[in-house]
Copies of this chain bind each other. A is one copy, B any other.
Amino acid sequence: MTRKTVSLKDISNACGVSVATVSKALNDHHDIGEDTKEHIRKVAEELGYRPNAAAQALKTNKTYNIGVLFVDEAHSGLTHDYFSHVLDSFKTTAEENGYDITFINSSKRNENSTYLSHALYRGFDGVVIACVDFYDPQVYELVSSSIPVVTIDHMFDNCMSVQSDNIKGMKEMLHYIYDCGHRKIAYIHAHENTSVTQGRLACFYNTLQELNVSVPDEYVVTAPYRNTDKTYEASMKLLNLENPPTCIICPDDFSSFGCINAAREMGLRIPEDISVAGYDGIELARRISPRLTTVVQDTKKLGSLAAEKLIALINNPKGTLIEHLLVEGQLDEGESVSKL
């Protein structure tokens, strides 16, 4: 039904004025009479006029569209609990400011299409990057372009970033675990190819050293993020040590289910026999029993801040200074770490 789109020309015909006048009237320029404006606005409304984004973008070089690069190996960041919340918050703030969100991809359709070329093709006003392999040259190409970019949970020095304060969060959790009396603390961490992992791991060693807690090499093992199976295996390894830890920190909340299963399978009660901690603060962590001890990352703040900063950058590419912002998480003590 409602296909025939109404253009400025239709309004200009209906009102007996030029197209330019209509355009200016609708954009509230000063050199159009108040009564004319009113009339034009009314007619535009009646005809159901909507501007044409493509035409506007072509002329003004502004699309009011932000490119989102969220690429997991397996999936897009979409199905990722933590990042989907960040993205949701980003989207909300962006939309409040009149921006839409489109996913960036390097579609295999155009064989030599890159993230950057896709972004240029769509003419994104800005780009947000999260949940990708930040060592991908395509990502660096995009970051180094003249398109305003904000990265989430990774820092390039020529590019604005918003990061969850993993150091602070990890430290706080470790202090809590320490204060609960634990001295045999194990850490299952992901591969060290992200700054998040690197930060947390360094913090793990540093904090425990400060606390004078020694960490046997065999207490530090690896498992990918969100991989319950691998975390299960890693946990088994830890629990079967001749001198097993009293507390295991998992890569994230989701993977901690692997740890929990391993413990249960060995007949260990949580937290009486073995303490378990996660990281992220996904909703489910609060819904299981015992409630998971974790650090709740402030996804809402991360997303909205990233959007605000990106929009500031878009509005003033030269004048906005590049910041590297940290967003604090909060320890949720939960019930899965025992007080010894």
Nearest CB to that of A317 among chain B residues? B3
Q: Does A91 reach chain B (CB closer than 8 Å)?
A: yes
Q: Does A87 reach chain B (CB closer than 8 Å)?
A: yes
Q: Does A261 reach chain B (CB closer than 8 Å)?
A: yes
Whether the pair B3, A146 counts as a contact (CB closer than 8 A) is yes
Whether the pair B3, A52 counts as a contact (CB closer than 8 A) is no
Task: Point out the residues of chain B lying under 8 angstroms from A3, CB to CB.
Answer: 145-147
Residues 79-115 of chain A: 1 if any B CB is under 8 Å from the residue's CB, otherwise 0?
1010011011001100111101111010111100000
Whether the pair A54, B63 counts as a contact (CB closer than 8 A) is yes
Whether the pair B100, A103 counts as a contact (CB closer than 8 A) is yes
Whether the pair B121, A51 counts as a contact (CB closer than 8 A) is yes
Distance in angstroms between the alpha carbons of A290 and B146 in the assembled complex: 53
Nearest CB to that of A4 among chain B residues? B146
Distance in angstroms between the alpha carbons of A289 and B288 in the assembled complex: 12
Most buried by B among A101, A110, A264: A101
Q: Does A324 reach chain B (CB closer than 8 Å)?
A: no
Whether the pair A122, B107 counts as a contact (CB closer than 8 A) is no
Q: Does A225 reach chain B (CB closer than 8 Å)?
A: no
Distance in angstroms between the alpha carbons of A109 and B95 in the assembled complex: 8
Distance in angstroms between the alpha carbons of A280 and B5 in the assembled complex: 41
- Pick the residue among B51, B58, B109 that contacts A98 (CB under 8 A): B109
Q: Does A57 reach chain B (CB closer than 8 Å)?
A: yes
Q: Does A287 reach chain B (CB closer than 8 Å)?
A: yes
Nearest CB to that of A110 among chain B residues? B98
- Pick the residue among B107, B109, B145, B289 that contacts A1 (CB under 8 A): B145
A57-B54, A121-B51 given as contacts; is B254 within 8 A of A102 (CB)? no
Distance in angstroms between the alpha carbons of A254 and B186 in the assembled complex: 30
Nearest CB to that of A105 among chain B residues? B95
A75-B88, A289-B261 given as contacts; is B105 within 8 A of A102 (CB)? no
Whether the pair B84, A50 counts as a contact (CB closer than 8 A) is no
Q: Does A25 reach chain B (CB closer than 8 Å)?
A: no
Between A and B, 5 residue pairs with Cβ closer than 8 Å are A50-B121, A95-B103, A96-B109, A257-B287, A265-B289
